[in-house]
Structure 1
Amino acid sequence: MTVFKRMVGLAMLLLLVGAIALAVDAARFFFNPLPNEQGKLIAVDPGMSFRAIAGRLADEGVIAKPRDVRYLSLYARATDQAHRIKSGEYVVPAGQTPAHVVALLVSGNTRQYRLTLVEGRRFSDIRRRLADNDALKHTLAGKSDAEVMAALGHPDEAPEGRFMPDTYLFPRGMTDLAFLERAYAAMATFLEQAWAERADDAMVDTPYEALILASIIEKETAVPAERRRIAGVFSRRLEKGMRLQTDPTVIYGIEDYDGNIRRSDLRRDTPYNTYTRSGLPPTPIATPSRAAVRAALNPAEGTSLYFVSRGDGSHVFSDTLAEHNRAVQKYQRGS
């Protein structure tokens, strides 16, 4: 009996020593920074188990020892967080504790990618930018523009000008369709707000007409101070029944534009030729900026009916055709 008691006592002592050693080792893991000395990108796949996630952290050097994988898994389950992990890409900074890493994975604060839609570009350019971005999930390849708009829930709308130019942040795996939904909603919301704040003398009858006019203003000038002046010129011409006679609309209607606009192009009738047709073209010709939309809805007062480029991005404004012709002679023909 005495030998048995001694053996039981020894076993209990060994268990106690083991438990203390385990506790000390666990404390070493939980209360010290993890070993990665720089940020590590960790991808959490949809439906991934926490044990698999912990294994991926080990593969990337965030966790150093195999038993630490078990510690982290036990911690996540014990704190009821293992099933709350959100999929996506996470950047695990250096110097984090295990608790901070689990909290990060639960937060859904995933790595964000940037994609900029530039004002003045066409929808075809937007589609190319989306197709070239490898962080997006591509679902629109091979679809026509009409099919894209139908997928967005707007089957009767032309896509040109409908998407807000801006820099967007998104997680890896977002679909190109979801990205376009954001940009479409951003433009629709802004256009509604700008329309509500339009000037009484705005010469457009609908928000869509404002979008069309804004796209022309966007293509005519990159000088912020000129936008409202150009909007004023176009508004006065519309009011007087004069044709807009603006080159960017003609260019938009040329199927294979080679960079040169010719007299024959100005005479050739298309729905976008504002030398041969009165009023606005049927759709926007580019993606307008917020500033261009505001200008279209708040044109500057004045008397000018013409403008011509100086060749440096700015323009000369004229009240009469005679003045305009002199400006054209000076700045366009060099005499």
Structure 2
Amino acid sequence: MRSLGCVILLVGLAVAAFIAFRFVHGWTEDGPAPRDISVVVPEGATLSDAAVLLKQSGAVRSADAFLTRAKVFGGGTPIKAGEFRIPAGASNKDILRILQGGKTLTRLVTIPEGMPSILVYERLMANDELTGDIKVPEEGSVLPDSYAFDKGEPRAAVLGRMQAAMDGLVKKLWAERAPDLVVKTPREAIILASIVEKETAVPRERPTVAGVYANRLRKNMMLQADPTIIYPITRGKPLGRRIRKSEIAAVNDYNTYAMVGLPKGPIANPGQLSILAVLHPAKTNALYFVADGKGGHIFADTYQQHNENVRKWFEIRRARGEL
């Protein structure tokens, strides 16, 4: 009987040791997730709530086992709310550390410099991780940048941050503007900056382009900016063809080939560098510019110089087979 009791005791100890081993090993062994997954922990969720969410997402094998191990081995640090990326095969220990660390997923929506508002609208509406409807924002009201958002966040909230960023930047830069500017209001500055933005993608040229347009405005010359012809046709989207003579002659609130002064409103959402260029334009006598064939422009003080530069540009285009 004593030997049978010893056997039963040894078996019991062995079982207990195996259970203890599995309990400890289960804390650090690889988890079941076959690939990276995301888990959203709502605000106010408890560790028990998180365990259920982890089981539902496939990050852990058992909600109860994860919860028990987390209470034993995880310490007292509370978990954070947010969306977390759980790597493939992450252990219970790794997962709890991720939830306690609070390093949430970062989702970004990027608005490039010079993007018109119709394309901002389309980009936000096409993002299926955002929710709700928005209207096309006012042209020139969005600051081009990359904006973080949470999965399921309303589009209106993201757009609101974009517009608040533009408002804040314009107020700051307007307060620091150069004296005696040709633009007299922040709105006029945004209108001209949108034209500068669309006319050159070369950052170092922007102050000079702004200086050319400032000179033209002071002399009551037409700005003659090609992008202002396109805007009322496509709302700022690429035209996809050459501008027609009838479009150059069209009279409307935007076409600066048929009017003196600034157009009715912005033709795009300008970036910070273009706004700065308008508020601190280069001191130049130039009144004209044309493409140089290398991605930039050649500037001229006189119409005669400009015609020569245009001739050279047409030679380049003919050599490329564009004419």
Which category describes the TM-score, using the shorter chain as reference length?
0.7 to 0.9
- C-alpha distance in 1, partners of 2:277/2:199? 12
Aligned position for 2:130: 136
CA contact (8 A) 2:182 2:214 kept: yes
Gap change, CA 1:79 and 1:14, over 3 Å in 2: farther
- C-alpha distance in 2, partners of 1:180/1:293? 20
Deviation at 1:238, TM superposition (A): 1.3
CA contact (8 A) 1:41 1:92 kept: yes
SS for the counterpart of 2:96 is helix
CA contact (8 A) 2:249 2:258 kept: yes
Aligned position for 2:25: 28
Moved more, 170-179 or 17-26: 17-26
The question of 1:53 aligning with 2:50 is answered yes
Deviation at 1:14, TM superposition (A): 11
Deviation at 1:223, TM superposition (A): 1.6
CA contact (8 A) 1:194 1:297 kept: yes
Q: Taking every aligned residue pair, what percent have the same amino acid on both sides?
A: 36
* Residue identity in the other structure for 1:166: D
- C-alpha distance in 1, partners of 2:213/2:88? 57
Candidates 36, 39, 47, aligned match of 1:40: 36
5+ long unaligned stretches in structure 2:
1-9, 319-323
Aligned position for 2:153: 174
CA contact (8 A) 2:106 2:149 kept: yes
The question of 1:123 aligning with 2:105 is answered no
* Residue identity in the other structure for 1:184: Q
Gap change, CA 1:123 and 1:203, over 3 Å in 2: same
- C-alpha distance in 2, partners of 1:171/1:76? 30
The question of 1:264 aligning with 2:243 is answered no
Aligned position for 1:184: 163
SS for the counterpart of 1:44 is strand
SS for the counterpart of 1:173 is coil
- C-alpha distance in 2, partners of 1:111/1:313? 38
The question of 1:300 aligning with 2:282 is answered yes
* Residue identity in the other structure for 2:37: L
Aligned position for 2:309: 327
Aligned position for 1:6: none
Moved more, 62-71 or 243-252: 62-71
Deviation at 1:46, TM superposition (A): 4.0
RMSD (Å), alpha carbons:
3.6
CA contact (8 A) 2:216 2:223 kept: yes
CA contact (8 A) 2:290 2:299 kept: yes
- C-alpha distance in 2, partners of 1:323/1:170? 50
CA contact (8 A) 1:164 1:186 kept: yes
Deviation at 1:303, TM superposition (A): 0.8
Deviation at 1:312, TM superposition (A): 3.8
The question of 1:109 aligning with 2:100 is answered no
Per-residue CA deviations over 1:216-274 (Å, capped at 9, x if unaligned) read 01111112221111111011111222221211112112258553212222222100011
Gap change, CA 1:37 and 1:254, over 3 Å in 2: closer
SS for the counterpart of 1:128 is helix
Deviation at 1:192, TM superposition (A): 2.1
* Residue identity in the other structure for 1:136: L
Deviation at 1:75, TM superposition (A): 5.5
Gap change, CA 1:75 and 1:126, over 3 Å in 2: farther
- C-alpha distance in 1, partners of 2:160/2:251? 34
5+ long unaligned stretches in structure 1:
1-12, 150-158
Moved more, 37-46 or 269-278: 37-46
SS for the counterpart of 2:233 is coil
Aligned position for 2:81: 86
Aligned position for 2:4: none
The question of 1:283 aligning with 2:262 is answered no
CA contact (8 A) 2:191 2:267 kept: yes
Gap change, CA 1:101 and 1:242, over 3 Å in 2: same
CA contact (8 A) 2:41 2:80 kept: no
Deviation at 1:186, TM superposition (A): 1.8
Deviation at 1:70, TM superposition (A): 4.5
- C-alpha distance in 2, partners of 1:322/1:29? 82
Aligned position for 1:154: none
**How do 1:216-255 residues align onto structure 2 when only pairs under 5 Å count?**
216-254=195-233
CA contact (8 A) 1:309 1:332 kept: no
Gap change, CA 1:120 and 1:20, over 3 Å in 2: same
* Residue identity in the other structure for 1:63: V
Candidates 52, 57, 60, aligned match of 1:63: 60
* Residue identity in the other structure for 1:240: K
**How do 1:143-162 residues align onto structure 2 when only pairs under 5 Å count?**
144-145=135-136, 159-162=138-141
* Residue identity in the other structure for 1:283: G
TM-score, normalization by structure 1: 0.77
